[in-house]
Amino acid sequence: MNVPRSAVFLLLAALVALPARAGEAVTIKANAGLGGLCRPGRWIPVRVDVDYRGAEAAGELIVDWGDARVRRAISLASQSRKQFELYVRTPDPRDSMTVRLMVSGHEVATAEAPVRLIAPADALTVCVAPANTWSVSGVACSTTVNPEALPHSWRGYGAADDVVWESGGPTMLSGEQQTALNQWRAVQAIENAEASSPSIAAITPPARALYRTGTAMLTYTLALGVFVWPLSRIRSRSLFAYPVIAALVAVGSVAAIASGRIGPGRSVHVSQAAVVQQLAGTKGSLVQAHGVAEFPSLGAVEVRAIRADGEMAVRSGRDRRDLSFDENGAPLFAGTYGLGATATFEVEAVTAFEALRAASRGTTVRVSNISIHQLRDCRFGTGFSRLNVGSLAPGQSVEAERRAEPGDAVFSCTLAAPVIELTESRRSIDSDGTAVVMIRLPEGPRTP
């Protein structure tokens, strides 16, 4: 049967047009920074508007900026418009970043978000006011931002030195935005405190999980030796013996990998070592932690840090680059791991965890243990009437007088418990850990 040339032409034209129609079903727009401004090595917000006209689907937003990449899982309802807020930082920035929307592993839309870099020595003051209403004189505004465009995470203010409001103050913020602003100010105060904050690089990764891995490997090796030993006693080996040995090794390996799918072996074991920093009068804590996760069997995992606003990155001997977040913005790391395999990860986040509460009256400072854990090796910083305190039981308090000479306005303890809450959708998490807990004490009048 002869097909008319015109019909062939129309069919080819239709096939060529299909990708264009698919692309027209999705459009995204992106803008980044605080009024488009950002700094190298500091967090900046990226707001992405998605206009979706396809069938209901699961997707992923990917932001590439310099050598950094951030992934955020999203759900796309049919005929919907949504705005998403992501956060990215890199020491090697470019003057624009690329935002891509992936659906079923295919790129369906892309957008560019230009940014302006601010030098580290230059001040970045964010003035907040509705459009064209800023009237405060004497303030050198680097940029003016509408209150509705302010970040929903403390990380979004990372590039700013100061945030200034027009008369009336931050009355138009949502609860989430107000919390973000308060947390950023607390983190800024901690980082600018006279007593230097510990670096995450100085925290030693815990090693307990490695002991469990070594035990599993030793047990498997011994069991394999028991099976192979009789074959090694055969003086005149035939070629048949070698395939049998290889088969035993293969079967033993499969059994070892598959073990742990039932019973207590289903748990992912995590050991943590952390530094927790609090600011008196502020909710939550800034947590920096190293962790080692050990996996019970071969399979895919997604380990999430819950009630944590920050990042979680796997360390594998190279610089951090690829950060992932779930639909709710919770940081996670994912991968496929076998029996006894381990992953070393880092967490830097503001969390809901609190162990200490402090208040002052005159020169007297009172610190209380508000956690459910025993705190040990507690001490005041220099400049107080007492230094070593010892242990604090849950609910117990201790007082000290602030002296005239300057000192570190801190109180610290050690804690034998994990502080980062982790979850995995298919397995339970068995956590242990240690932490140094510090609280920056409130300022008060000094004795003459």
- Per-residue pLDDT tens for 353-380? 999 999 999 899 999 999 999 999 999 9
Which band of pLDDT confidence, cut at 50, 70 and 90, is reported for residue 15? very low
Checking if the pLDDT of 201 tops 60, the result is no
Q: What are phi and psi of 49, to 5 degrees?
A: -100, 125
Average pLDDT over residues 257-272: 65
| Strand order across the beta sheet in which 356-361 lies | 356-361, 364-369, 397-401
Average pLDDT, the chain: 82
In this model, does residue 78 exceed pLDDT 70?
A: yes
pLDDT of residue 202 exceeding 70: no
| Residue 352 to residue 7: CA distance in whole angstroms | 65
**Residue 225 identity:** G
DSSP 446: P
Instruction: Provide the pLDDT confidence category of residue 36 given band limits of 50, 70 and 90.
Output: very high
| Distance in angstroms (rounded) separating the CA atoms of residues 65 and 30 | 13
For residues 355 and 375, the answer to whether their CB atoms sit within 8 Å is yes
As a whole number, mean pLDDT of residues 39-59 equals: 93
Amino acid, single-letter form, for residue 112: E
Ranges of each domain in the chain? 24-117, 125-191, 196-448
Count CB-CB contacts under 10 A for residue 287.
25
List beta partners, residue 360.
365
CATH of domain 24-117: 2.60.40.10
